[in-house]
């Protein structure tokens, strides 16, 4: 790759490694800096963290924790079933706790999941799950046992894998001639639009533009046929691809590429401007949080997200500014946030009338949260698209 660095987010820990107190001293940190590949226009980390440090048997993130995501996967499954042949053979890459799988037939659906705790969970649910990373070996093993797939689906997974050529070659290998490859990940255009630099952390070595994906897919025998701009995770793209010889793209592909060119997502200068906005966001957030502290207000954080790991570590926010974090995920409760070690407790224990301000670590679920917390008398703090109270 021909990468040039544009952003430095400093020393960062493993974003989803929530800690016990006795693990503080041995915590792993790396330098998070982001670059632009001048050959493919891919936005990608300068150095990648070893995937085994992130995706292992104690992975904490559960996709099924929000109604928004449960509904989202049910809806996309319904749409896919209207397009696919009857009784399709389906593979999901990165099946997490099975939030997508549950919509599909157990006997015709295979899953791949590198995190042992979740691979075991979905195997127990009755979906044959390979506890492996996605690569040529896994793809060939599945091909040998199950044959080609009509649908290969991945949500918030492809952007997690450093070697994209290997990812796409492995998909091409296992896809039936007319098969569909559908994947969704946060959109670079949206990240730039709303200044959500917290989409960048160890698990997201790349943030995708359609332009970059088209470049990398096409050199691996795949072509984009449709792009859906979807609201989940703060603005994502759902990419529909097929083998190049069977592809026939619709207008959405050209429209997205045109828009991305207008935004300058194929130019380094766009990202140096973005880096300045990131720094400004940090200064504004620190100013609002310091003012709360100086006025003796109680500030907590809502949602112990990977995204907030980036923010808290980049902005150096610890318990002097945020007292604790509430989160519904059992695996995160009674632990401490990566890097800055803010305690995490249940919403029942911590989200009460004593809270003056709640920073939205899970800002991407703002609608669901505001509906759920309609009696909250304090204010939420968000940093997207600009730092403000809501």
Count of other CB atoms within 10 angstroms of residue 349 = 11
Max alpha carbon distance in the chain (Å)? 65
Distance of closest approach, residue 8 Cβ to ligand JHZ, in angstroms = 21
> Which position among 103, 196, 281, 305 is part of the footprint of ligand JHZ (CB under 6 A)?
305
Residue nearest to ligand JHZ (CB): 303
Say whether residue 365 binds ligand JHZ (CB under 6 A): yes
Q: Which residue, 287, 286, 304, is CA-closest to 345? A: 304
Q: Which element (helix H / strand E) includes 67?
A: helix 67-83
3-state helix, strand, coil in the chain (%, to 5): 40, 25, 35
Say whether residue 40 binds ligand JHZ (CB under 6 A): no
Q: Buried b vs exposed e over 31-56: b needs ≥16 C-beta within 10 Å? A: ebbbbbbeebbbbbbbeebebeebbe
Q: Which span sits near ligand JHZ by CB under 6 A: 36-44, 278-286, 303-311, 337-345?
A: 303-311
Instruction: Classify residue 324 by its DSSP letter.
Output: -
**Rounded to whole angstroms, how far apart are CA atoms 376 and 358?**
10
Distance of closest approach, residue 40 Cβ to ligand JHZ, in angstroms = 21
Distance of closest approach, residue 267 Cβ to ligand JHZ, in angstroms = 26
Binding mask 65-94 for ligand JHZ (x = CB under 6 A): xx----------------------------
Q: Which of residues 306-345 bind ligand JHZ (CB under 6 A)?
A: 306-307, 327-329, 332
Residues in the interface with ligand JHZ (CB under 6 A) total 21
**Rounded to whole angstroms, how far apart are CA atoms 93 and 132?**
10
**Residue (189 or 257) nearer to ligand JHZ, CB:** 189
Q: Which span sits near ligand JHZ by CB under 6 A: 240-248, 263-271, 363-371, 378-386?
A: 363-371
> Which position among 61, 208, 314, 357 is part of the footprint of ligand JHZ (CB under 6 A)?
61
> Which position among 129, 156, 209, 223 is part of the footprint of ligand JHZ (CB under 6 A)?
156
> Which position among 35, 114, 303, 378 is part of the footprint of ligand JHZ (CB under 6 A)?
303
Task: List phi, psi (to 5°) of 324.
Answer: -160, 175
Say whether residue 304 binds ligand JHZ (CB under 6 A): yes
Distance of closest approach, residue 262 Cβ to ligand JHZ, in angstroms = 27
**Residue (55 or 127) nearer to ligand JHZ, CB:** 55
CA angle 216, 217, 220 (to 5 degrees): 95
Q: Residues 207, 210, 216, 222: is their CA dihedral positive or negative?
A: positive
Tokens of 107: 């006997």
Tokens of 299: 């500030």
Binding mask 218-247 for ligand JHZ (x = CB under 6 A): ---------------x--------------
Q: Which span sits near ligand JHZ by CB under 6 A: 104-112, 161-169, 237-245, 357-365?
A: 357-365
Total residues belonging to the chain: 390
Q: Which span sits near ligand JHZ by CB under 6 A: 116-124, 136-144, 287-295, 298-306?
A: 298-306
Strand partners, 129: 111
Distance of closest approach, residue 365 Cβ to ligand JHZ, in angstroms = 4
**Residue (243 or 314) nearer to ligand JHZ, CB:** 314
**Residue (42 or 369) nearer to ligand JHZ, CB:** 369
Distance of closest approach, residue 320 Cβ to ligand JHZ, in angstroms = 23
Q: Contact at 8 Å (CB) between 308 and 337?
A: yes
C-alpha distances in angstroms, 333 versus 6, 120, 280, 356, 367? 35, 21, 32, 21, 23
**Residue (170 or 364) nearer to ligand JHZ, CB:** 364
Q: Which span sits near ligand JHZ by CB under 6 A: 174-182, 219-227, 245-253, 368-376?
A: 368-376
Tokens of 84: 């696919």
**Rounded to whole angstroms, how far apart are CA atoms 200 and 45?**
9
**Rounded to whole angstroms, how far apart are CA atoms 39 and 42?**
8
Binding site for ligand JHZ (CB under 6 A): 61, 65-66, 156, 203, 233, 303-307, 327-329, 332, 362, 364-365, 368-369, 372
């Amino acid at each position: 790759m021909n990468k040039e660095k544009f952003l430095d987010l400093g020393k960062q820990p493993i974003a989803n490694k929530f800690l016990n107190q006795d693990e503080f001293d041995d915590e792993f940190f790396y330098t998070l800096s982001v670059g632009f590949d001048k050959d493919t226009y891919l936005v990608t980390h300068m150095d990648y963290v070893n995937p085994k440090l992130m995706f292992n048997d104690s992975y904490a993130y559960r996709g099924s924790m929000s109604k928004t995501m449960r509904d989202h996967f049910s809806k996309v499954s319904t749409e896919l079933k209207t397009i696919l042949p009857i009784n399709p053979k389906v593979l999901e890459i990165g099946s997490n706790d099975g939030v997508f799988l549950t919509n599909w037939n157990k006997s015709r659906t295979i899953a791949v999941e590198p995190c042992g705790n979740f691979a075991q969970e979905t195997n127990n649910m009755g979906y044959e799950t390979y506890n492996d990373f996605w690569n040529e070996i896994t793809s060939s093993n599945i091909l040998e046992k199950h044959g080609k797939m009509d649908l290969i689906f991945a949500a918030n997974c492809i952007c997690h894998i450093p070697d994209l050529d290997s990812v796409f070659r492995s998909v091409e290998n296992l896809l039936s001639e007319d098969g569909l490859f559908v994947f969704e990940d946060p959109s670079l255009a949206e990240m730039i639009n709303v200044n959500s630099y917290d989409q960048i952390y160890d698990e997201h070595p790349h943030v995708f533009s359609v332009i970059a994906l088209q470049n990398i897919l096409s050199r691996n025998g795949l072509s984009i046929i449709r792009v859906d701009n979807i609201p989940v995770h703060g603005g994502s793209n759902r990419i529909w691809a097929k083998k190049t010889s069977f592809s026939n793209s619709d207008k959405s592909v050209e429209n997205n590429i045109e828009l991305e060119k207008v935004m300058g997502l194929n130019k380094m200068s766009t990202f140096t401007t973005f880096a300045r906005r990131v720094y400004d966001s940090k200064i504004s957030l620190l100013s609002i949080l310091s003012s709360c502290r100086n006025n003796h207000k109680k500030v907590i954080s809502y949602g112990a997200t990977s995204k907030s790991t980036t923010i808290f570590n980049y902005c150096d926010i610890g318990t002097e500014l945020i007292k604790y974090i509430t989160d519904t995920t059992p695996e995160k409760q009674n632990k401490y946030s990566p890097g800055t070690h803010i305690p995490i407790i249940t919403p029942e224990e911590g989200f009460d009338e004593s809270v003056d301000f709640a920073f939205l670590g899970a800002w991407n679920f703002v609608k669901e949260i505001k509906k759920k917390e309609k009696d909250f008398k304090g204010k939420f703090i968000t940093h997207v698209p600009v730092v403000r109270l809501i």
